[in-house]
Amino acid sequence: MEIYEQRILPAVRQIKDLEKLLRSKYTYIVLLDLHVAQLKSVVSLAKRHGKKVFLHVDLIRGLQSDAYATEFLCQEFEPYGLLSTKANVITKAKQKGVIAIQRIFLIDSSSLEKSYALLEKTRPDYIEVLPGALTEVIADVKEQTGIPILAGGFLRSVEDAEKALAAGATAITTSDRSLWRYYEKE
């Protein structure tokens, strides 16, 4: 997958934000914090507006984030991609032919080493590194794995986002609407 010049992947937490994004130039969007009962209508609406949807499996309420849920999501909703912290979700997503984004949380060197072992096992299409403000670590993870990086979490300004991009992130995932507006102007 190439994100084709889209340096921000807007991450939607609320339906009112989705409504704004449907009128935006963004093609790729991430849907967070949905209830399983909302999936059909929300994904359908986004696709009708030409959006390529990434679903964050771990944040779908009413659905256990496992291989069975992954198979269900891929068959029923045909997302462009799936995000998860769970290896079995990433593995199944790859089997189903959707973009697999492994989310990793880096809090110390031990979590980084465990993440490297996980990434070696899952070989996702992308890695989402949180917090994205850890610019030195973004460069290290990209160099160590050779997998494109998405940076998310604690990117509070254009300057923070630019530092993450300069460190080697392919794009930024953010629910910060001010960053959406700024990068949409590019």
Q: 121-135: per-residue pLDDT in tens?
A: 999 999 999 999 999
Q: Find tokens 């530092």 and name the residue.
A: 163
Structural domain range at position 108? 8-184
Residue 1 lies in a domain: no
Number of CB atoms found within 10 A of residue 166's CB: 11
**What pLDDT is stored for residue 1 in this prediction?**
47
Residue 107 lies in a domain: yes
Residue 36 lies in a domain: yes
Residue 2 lies in a domain: no
Residue 150 lies in a domain: yes
Number of CB atoms found within 10 A of residue 140's CB: 17
CATH (domain of 68): 3.20.20.70
Residue 12 lies in a domain: yes
Question: How many domains are there within the chain?
Answer: 1
pTM score: 0.96
Predicted confidence (pLDDT) per residue in 137-183, tens digit: 999 999 999 999 999 999 999 999 999 999 999 999 999 999 999 99
